[in-house]
Structure 1
Amino acid sequence: MFTSKEEFIMEFSKRIISTYGRCVSQSHVTEQFMVLESMVRDYASVNWATTKADIIKYNKKQMYYFSLEFLMGRMLVNNLMNLGIYDVAKIGLSELGINIHELEELETDAGLGNGGLGRLAACFMDSLASLSYPGNGNTIRYEYGLFKQKIEDGYQIEVPDQWLKLGNGWEVRKPKHTVDVKFWGTVQYNSETQKYEHKGAECVSAVPYDVPIVGMDTTVTNTLRLWHAQPSDNIPSNKDFRQYNQEVRDICQTLYPDDSTISGKTLRLKQQYFLVAAGLQAIIKYHLSLYPSLDNFHEKTVIQLNDTHPVLCIPELMRLLIDEHDYEWDQAWFIVSHTFAYTNHTVLVEALERWPITLMQALLPRVYMIIDEIHHRFHDEVIKRTGDKEKADRLGILKDGYCDMAHLAVVGSFSVNGVAYLHTQILKNDVMRELSDYFPGKFNNKTNGITHRRWLLYANPQLSDLIKQQIGDSWIEQPLLLSRLLDYSLDPKLQEQFIAVKKERKQRLADYILKNNHIQVDIDSIFNIQVKRFHAYKRQLLSVLGIIYQYYEIKNNPDYQMYPQTFIFGGKAAPGYYFAKTVIKLINSVAKVVNEDEDVSKYMKVIFIENYGVTLAELIIPAADVSLQISTAGKEASGTGNMKFMMNGAITLGTMDGANVEIVQQVAKENCEIFGLTTAEIEDLKPNYRVWDYYHNDPKIKRVIDSLVDGSWDNNREQFRVIFEELMNRNDEYFVLADLDAYLKALNRIEKRYQDQAEWAKACLINIAKSGYFSSDRTIKEYVDDIWHIEKI
C-alpha cells in the first residue's frame, strides 16, 4: 500500500477525503486516528490473505486458542512496528502537520480481558504470528469488558468501559459466517432417525468479527475471532421479544458478570457455551471446506482450552459429531480426546469451576446429556481398571449436584499443563494427584512467558536502545541472546547508563502521577510497585500492613532510619469481592494520611493508580525499581507481571511462589530479594498456626492490627472490620502475619542494597540478561514441540 512517505501521504489524504468529505487540514484528530487505523489494518490484510491461502496450499495443521479473555492493549504502535512501517507513518504524518503520538493516545485498550489469563493469551498470539505458526484465537466481543475503575473517596467505583466509543478499527465483521447457538428447550429421541433432537430451543445468532494478529518481520498474519451475540430469526413464538433482545445483549455486555445469584450463574454459563458452540461450528465448517469428512479433524486441528471457561468445547464437539455428523460414540470420543489440550491456571479450589447440574440440564439439555454419558463411561472405566468405586467417585465429573469442569477437562483432553514448575508440581502431587496418577504422562509443565517485543522493545525504547548499543539487536529475534549482557554487568559505564535510563522512566511515571493523582513523588526514592488483580492470596494487604508498620516506626521511633520509598499500587477488584475492594479503600486511606504527614511523607509516599490496564502497565513497569511479587507460597500459578518487571530491570522482592521460583533459578538469589514461608513450610505450619500469637507476642504488630479498627485510617471504625475479621477471627488464611516480619526485613535489605547504585545496577542488568528465558517465544516453541505439533507457514 505504501513504502515511502510520499505514498503514505497520498493514501492518507485520499482516505480522509473519501471517508469524511474534507481535506486533511480540516479533519478532526479522531478522524485522522481512525483513517490511520484502517490503513494499517488494510496494509496487514495482504499478508492476512496470503497466510490463509498458504495454510490451505501447504495443508497445514492449525491451533485454535479458546479463551474468555484476550487482554490485547493498544494495537496501533504494535502493528506499525511489527510491520516495519512506523517511521514511514510518523514522518508522513509529521509533514501533514500531525503528531503521531497524539493519535496513539486516542486508542483505548480493547475491553476483552482483565488480568494475567488474558494478557498471556495476547502474548501467545503475538509470538505465534512472529514465529510464523498458524495459531488463531477465539473469544467474545464484549461491549464493555470488565469495567472502568474510578477511585472516589478511596473507594473503587465501577463504571462501563466504553472502549468501542470510536469503534474498533482493527476488526472486520463477517456476517456470512454467522451461526446459531441454542439454549433452553428440551431433548427428544426420534426413533425413525435414531437421533436426539433439540426441540423448543431459544436461538442466538453469533456473528464473527475478525482481527488480524500481525507478526514481527514475517508475512504471517493470524486471526483473533471475536463472537458477538445478536437476535436470531429462530426464537419460540411465545417469547417476549423485548426480554429476549435484552437477554441476547447481556451475553456480550461484560466480562465475568457477578455470579453470586442464579441469574448471574446462568449468564456466565451462557457466555461460555456461546463462545464454544460458535467457535466449533466455524472450525468444523472450515475443515469440511477442505476435507471430505471429519475423520482427520484431530490431525488438522488442535484446540487449546485456556482454563476451565471453554471446557464445554469437549461435550459440544461430541454433540456436533454425533448429532450433526453421524458419528458413533467411540469414533467421536477418539476424535475429541485427540483434539483438546487444557491449561490449568489455578490451584485455588474455589476457582476450579463447578456448575450446578440443575442449571446445566435446563440451559444446555443435550450438552448435559453428553456430559452425563462421559461421566458414567469414565466412572465405569475407573472401576474396571482399579476395582475402586470410591476412587471412581472422587475422579468423577458429576458429584454432589455439580459438574466439575476441571475433571471434565482432564478426562477429555490429551494434554494437561500447568504454567510454572511449582504450579505443575502442586497439580500433580496434590490438587489433581489421583487424576495425574490415573493418566500417566498427560500432565506437563509450560512455564508462562511474555512477548519481549511489546514489553521491552516497544514499551521501553530507551532501555532497548541501550541494550542494542551494547550487544546489538539479534536478541529481538532470539531473546535468549539477551544473556550477552552478562559480560557487561560489571561495566561502570553501562551501569551509569542503565541508572540514567531508569531515572528517565521514573520521571515519566512521576509526571503521570502528578497530573492524575496530584502528588509529587521523588524519582530518587525507591519505586516499589505492586500492580495486579486484587485478591487475598496476592497479598496487597501484606504491602499495606508493612506501610502502616513503617508509618508508626517513623512517628514513634526517633532512631528509625528509612531510605525514601514510593509504594505504587494498581489493579481492580471484582465488583462482588468485598474484601478486595476494602483493601483498595485501606490503601487509599493510608495513602491520604501518609502523604499529608510532613514527618512521614519525606520518607514515604503511597500512590494508587486507578484503572490499571495494559497501556498503564507500559508506563509503570519500566519505571519500577522493585517488583513486589508477594503472594502466599503455593497459591500463584505463575504470574507474568514478575517477568515483565524483570525484563525491564527491576529487582524481584517476592516469595518462592509461581514463576518467582524460576526467576530465582535464572538469576540466583543474590539478584532477587526472597523472603517468607515456602510451600512446604506453610503445610507444616498450618495445623499449629495461631494468628493471635503474633498479635499478643509482638506489640508493634498489635498496634498495626488495632489501627484497622480504632479509627486511625477512617472515622468509621467499622470501615475495615472485614479485614480485621479475615486476619484475626478466620485465622489469617493467607499467612499475612506469619510473613510480615520477614517482609519488613526484606524491605530493609532492599533499602541498603539500593544505596550502592553500582551493585544495584549490576543486579538489574543480570535480571535483564536472564529474562530472555521468559519470552513467550520460548513458551510457544514448547507448546509446539510437546503438544500442538504444528509447523511454520
Structure 2
Amino acid sequence: MNKELFYSELSKDLKKKFGADVENALPWQLHESLSATVMELIDGDWENSRKAHLDSRRACYLSMEFLMGRAVYNNLLCLGITDEVDELLKAHGRSLNDLEEIEDAALGNGGLGRLAACFLDSAAAHDLPLDGYGIRYKYGLFKQKIVDGFQKEEADNWTKYGDPWSKRCENDKVIVKYGDQTVYAVPYDMPVIGFGTKNVGTLRLWQAESVEDFDFAQFDCGNYDGAVKAKNDAENISKVLYPNDNCEEGKILRLKQEYFFSSASVTDIIKKHLAKFGTLDNLGDFITIQLNDTHPVIAVPELIRQLCAEHGYDFDKAFEIAHKVFNYTNHTIMAEALEKWDCRIVEKVVPEVYTYILMINERFIKDMYALKKDREYISKLSPVGDGMVKMAFMAIYVSSYINGVAAIHTEILKKDALKDWYELYPERFQNKTNGITQRRWLALCNPELSALITKLLGNADWVKNLDELKKLEKYADDEAVLNEFMAVKEAQKNRLAAFVKEHDGVDIDP
C-alpha cells in the first residue's frame, strides 16, 4: 500500500465531505472517508471479479440474514493493510480503535446470519465465484441496553450516518408483485473481500421502495396519511428483521419479505444469465442457488413461474431446470421448526406463485404413485397438505442436494427428522460442516494470540488454511509456550476488566 497516496485520498475525502481533517474528524466521519478510500482501492478488483463470476459457473447464496458485523476491520485485514492504516492514523493522533463505536450492519440475529457471512468470506478467500442475496433492512436486529439488570431493546438505525460499504445499483432495480401491491426492489451491493487474493465477492441486499412515492391528489384533499400510504407500505417490507408474526398482519409481512428478496434475486439471476447466454436452457449448467434454510424456498416456485409465465417454458421443463439449480441447507432437527405457511395466506399474498406451488405438489403425487407409494405415505410427505405449504418438503423434493450443517446434524436428519425423505432420495443428502472463519474470530479479534500462533508455526498460512493449526499440537506440553499463551490470556482479561470499568464503572477481578 502506498501510505502517502492513501493518506492523501483519505484527507481529500474528509475535507470534501465534512470540512474536517484526520486529526479532528468525528469517528463516523473518519469511518465514512476511510471506507470510501478503501472502496476506491478495491474498485478494479471488484469489477474484474463480477465479470469473472458471470463468466463461470456461479453460486448464488440466498439468505434472510447476513450478520456481517463491522466491515471496516475485516476488510482492512483481508487486504493485509490493518497495521499500515493504524500506523498512518496514529501518526496523526488517531487510531482504528476510534471506530469501535461505529454501528454493525446487524442484519441477522445469530448463528444463521453469521454462518451466511462466514460462508461468503470463505468463498471469496478461496476464489470461488459465489455471491449473496438478502434484504437491506433499515433497522437491524436491535440495539441493546441493560437497564436495572434487564435487557432493553431499541431500534437499530445502522445507516443513520450513511452506509459507505454499499453501492446503490439503480439500473438493476426490479419489480416485485404481490396480490395487493407492487413494489420496487432496489439493490445495494456490498463487497466481500477475499483474504490474500484479488477475488471480491458481492453481497446484493434488496431495499423495498414504492413505485409511487406520493399521491398528490390525496394530499391536496387533506388525506395526508393516505398521500404516503403506498410509500410506507412498500418500505415496511424491508424495514425490520423478523417482524413479530404472532398476528396475521405480521405473518403476511414476513411472507412478503421472503418473497420480496427471493423474487428479486431470481429476476436478477435470470436477467444476468440471459444477457450472457441469450437462453435459459443452460441455466442449470451455470447457476446453482443455495437456499439457506426455508426462508428463501419460495424462490423455487418463483423460478418455475418466471420460466413458464415470462419465458415460454412448459411446467415440466421449468421443473427440471429448477431441480438442477436449487440446493437446500437445513438448519434444524425439530419438525415443528420446519417452516409452514397457511395456504390461505400464500394464495392471498402471491396468488400466481401459489398456482405453481399446487402444480409442484401435483407432480410430487404423480411421482409417488409411479413409485407405488400408498396414500398415507404421499399425504405425509406432500409439499402441500393439511391446509399448509410445507417449505422444507418443497425444497427437498425439488432440489438436487440437501445438507445439514454438521456431521452429527446431518446424521440426525437422515435417521430421524427427515428419515422418510432420506430413504426416498438417499443420493441427495450431503453434509457441509459450517464453521466460522478464523480471520474474523481469531486473526482480527485477538491479534496477540494470532502473533503467537504465527511465531510458533513460522508463517501466517493458518489465516487461510485452518488445518495448519494442527501443527500446534506439539506444543501442548511445552511449558515456555504455555506460559506465553497464558500471558496473552491474562493481557486480554485485563483489557476486558478495563473496558468494563470504563463503560460500566464496575471493578472486576481479571
* TMscore range, shorter length: over 0.9
SS at match of 1:137: strand
Instruction: Work out whether residues 213 and 231 of structure 2, in 8 Å CA contact, stay in contact via their aligned partners in 1.
Output: no
- 2:473 corresponds to: 486
Picking from 139, 151, 170, the partner of 1:175 is 170
Task: Tell me the distance in 2 between the aligned counterparts of 1:242 and 1:330.
Answer: 43
Asked whether 1:124 is paired with 2:119, we answer yes
Task: Tell me the distance in 2 between the aligned counterparts of 1:43 and 1:106.
Answer: 24
Task: Tell me the distance in 2 between the aligned counterparts of 1:385 and 1:25.
Answer: 73
Instruction: Work out whether residues 111 and 143 of structure 1, in 8 Å CA contact, stay in contact via their aligned partners in 2.
Output: no
1:508-531: per-residue Cα shift (whole Å, max 9, x none)? 2222333344433222xxxxxxxx
- 2:75 corresponds to: 79
- 1:786 corresponds to: none
Task: Tell me the distance in 2 between the aligned counterparts of 1:256 and 1:407.
Answer: 22
Picking from 86, 90, 95, the partner of 2:86 is 90
Deviation at 1:240, TM superposition (A): 4.7
- What amino acid sits opposite 1:217 in the alignment? G
SS at match of 1:441: helix
Deviation at 1:243, TM superposition (A): 2.8
Asked whether 1:163 is paired with 2:142, we answer no
Instruction: Work out whether residues 9 and 96 of structure 1, in 8 Å CA contact, stay in contact via their aligned partners in 2.
Output: no
SS at match of 1:156: strand
Instruction: Work out whether residues 53 and 130 of structure 2, in 8 Å CA contact, stay in contact via their aligned partners in 1.
Output: no
- 1:437 corresponds to: 423
- 1:62 corresponds to: 58
Identical-pair percentage:
40
Instruction: Work out whether residues 214 and 228 of structure 2, in 8 Å CA contact, stay in contact via their aligned partners in 1.
Output: no
SS at match of 1:522: coil
Within-5 A mapping of 1:391-402 = 391-402=377-388
Task: Tell me the distance in 2 between the aligned counterparts of 1:272 and 1:390.
Answer: 31
Task: Tell me the distance in 1 between the aligned counterparts of 2:150 and 2:372.
Answer: 54
Picking from 287, 301, 313, the partner of 2:287 is 301
- 1:357 corresponds to: 343
- 2:222 corresponds to: none
Task: Tell me the distance in 2 between the aligned counterparts of 1:235 and 1:31.
Answer: 32
SS at match of 2:228: helix
Instruction: Work out whether residues 62 and 301 of structure 1, in 8 Å CA contact, stay in contact via their aligned partners in 2.
Output: yes
Instruction: Work out whether residues 415 and 443 of structure 1, in 8 Å CA contact, stay in contact via their aligned partners in 2.
Output: yes
1:724-766: per-residue Cα shift (whole Å, max 9, x none)? xxxxxxxxxxxxxxxxxxxxxxxxxxxxxxxxxxxxxxxxxxx
Task: Tell me the distance in 2 between the aligned counterparts of 1:437 and 1:207.
Answer: 42
Task: Tell me the distance in 2 between the aligned counterparts of 1:235 and 1:327.
Answer: 38
Would you say how many aligned residue pairs link Structure 1 and Structure 2? 502
Deviation at 1:52, TM superposition (A): 1.9
Task: Tell me the distance in 1 between the aligned counterparts of 2:112 and 2:272.
Answer: 28
Pair 1:278–1:480, CA change in 2 (3 A): same
- What amino acid sits opposite 2:58 in the alignment? Q
Instruction: Work out whether residues 173 and 186 of structure 2, in 8 Å CA contact, stay in contact via their aligned partners in 1.
Output: yes
Pair 1:26–1:454, CA change in 2 (3 A): closer
Instruction: Work out whether residues 180 and 278 of structure 1, in 8 Å CA contact, stay in contact via their aligned partners in 2.
Output: yes
Instruction: Work out whether residues 61 and 301 of structure 1, in 8 Å CA contact, stay in contact via their aligned partners in 2.
Output: yes
Within-5 A mapping of 1:716-735 = none
Within-5 A mapping of 1:557-568 = none
- 1:4 corresponds to: 2
Instruction: Work out whether residues 10 and 33 of structure 2, in 8 Å CA contact, stay in contact via their aligned partners in 1.
Output: yes
Instruction: Work out whether residues 45 and 212 of structure 1, in 8 Å CA contact, stay in contact via their aligned partners in 2.
Output: no
Asked whether 1:460 is paired with 2:440, we answer no
SS at match of 2:427: coil
Task: Tell me the distance in 1 between the aligned counterparts of 2:235 and 2:202.
Answer: 24
1:369-401: per-residue Cα shift (whole Å, max 9, x none)? 100110111012112212411100001011111
- What amino acid sits opposite 2:306 in the alignment? L
SS at match of 1:256: coil
- 2:489 corresponds to: 502
1:671-708: per-residue Cα shift (whole Å, max 9, x none)? xxxxxxxxxxxxxxxxxxxxxxxxxxxxxxxxxxxxxx
Pair 1:519–1:22, CA change in 2 (3 A): closer
Instruction: Work out whether residues 407 and 433 of structure 2, in 8 Å CA contact, stay in contact via their aligned partners in 1.
Output: yes
- What amino acid sits opposite 1:477 in the alignment? K
- 1:287 corresponds to: 273
- What amino acid sits opposite 1:165 in the alignment? K
Task: Tell me the distance in 2 between the aligned counterparts of 1:44 and 1:12.
Answer: 15
- 2:128 corresponds to: 133
- 2:198 corresponds to: 219
Task: Tell me the distance in 2 between the aligned counterparts of 1:150 and 1:61.
Answer: 45
Pair 1:517–1:225, CA change in 2 (3 A): same
Asked whether 1:147 is paired with 2:142, we answer yes
Asked whether 1:520 is paired with 2:478, we answer no
- What amino acid sits opposite 1:139 in the alignment? G
Which structure: larger Rg? Answer: 1
- 1:690 corresponds to: none
Instruction: Work out whether residues 33 and 106 of structure 1, in 8 Å CA contact, stay in contact via their aligned partners in 2.
Output: no
Instruction: Work out whether residues 212 and 231 of structure 2, in 8 Å CA contact, stay in contact via their aligned partners in 1.
Output: no
- What amino acid sits opposite 1:341 in the alignment? N
The more displaced of 464-473 and 3-12 is: 3-12
- What amino acid sits opposite 1:451 in the alignment? T
Pair 1:158–1:233, CA change in 2 (3 A): same
Task: Tell me the distance in 1 between the aligned counterparts of 2:470 and 2:397.
Answer: 41
Asked whether 1:257 is paired with 2:243, we answer yes
- 1:228 corresponds to: 207
Pair 1:159–1:387, CA change in 2 (3 A): same
Task: Tell me the distance in 2 between the aligned counterparts of 1:268 and 1:27.
Answer: 40
Task: Tell me the distance in 1 between the aligned counterparts of 2:152 and 2:229.
Answer: 28
- 1:693 corresponds to: none
- What amino acid sits opposite 1:232 in the alignment? V
Task: Tell me the distance in 2 between the aligned counterparts of 1:480 and 1:36.
Answer: 34
Task: Tell me the distance in 1 between the aligned counterparts of 2:107 and 2:159.
Answer: 11
SS at match of 2:188: strand
TM superposition score normalised by structure 2? 0.95
Pair 1:46–1:293, CA change in 2 (3 A): same
- 1:423 corresponds to: 409
- 2:371 corresponds to: 385
Pair 1:418–1:374, CA change in 2 (3 A): same
Instruction: Work out whether residues 378 and 396 of structure 1, in 8 Å CA contact, stay in contact via their aligned partners in 2.
Output: yes
- 1:107 corresponds to: 102
Task: Tell me the distance in 1 between the aligned counterparts of 2:227 and 2:185.
Answer: 18
Deviation at 1:494, TM superposition (A): 0.6
Pair 1:75–1:260, CA change in 2 (3 A): same
Q: CA RMSD in A?
A: 1.9
Pair 1:292–1:81, CA change in 2 (3 A): same
1:206-249: per-residue Cα shift (whole Å, max 9, x none)? 00000010011100001000100000149999995533222212
Task: Tell me the distance in 2 between the aligned counterparts of 1:508 and 1:253.
Answer: 37
Deviation at 1:24, TM superposition (A): 4.5
Task: Tell me the distance in 2 between the aligned counterparts of 1:511 and 1:412.
Answer: 54
- What amino acid sits opposite 1:36 in the alignment? L
Task: Tell me the distance in 2 between the aligned counterparts of 1:278 and 1:63.
Answer: 16
Task: Tell me the distance in 2 between the aligned counterparts of 1:179 and 1:435.
Answer: 36
- 1:19 corresponds to: 17
1:340-385: per-residue Cα shift (whole Å, max 9, x none)? 1000000123321111000001110010110011011101211221
The more displaced of 81-90 and 452-461 is: 81-90
Task: Tell me the distance in 2 between the aligned counterparts of 1:44 and 1:142.
Answer: 25
1:576-622: per-residue Cα shift (whole Å, max 9, x none)? xxxxxxxxxxxxxxxxxxxxxxxxxxxxxxxxxxxxxxxxxxxxxxx
SS at match of 1:386: coil
Within-5 A mapping of 1:495-644 = 495-523=482-510
Deviation at 1:25, TM superposition (A): 4.8
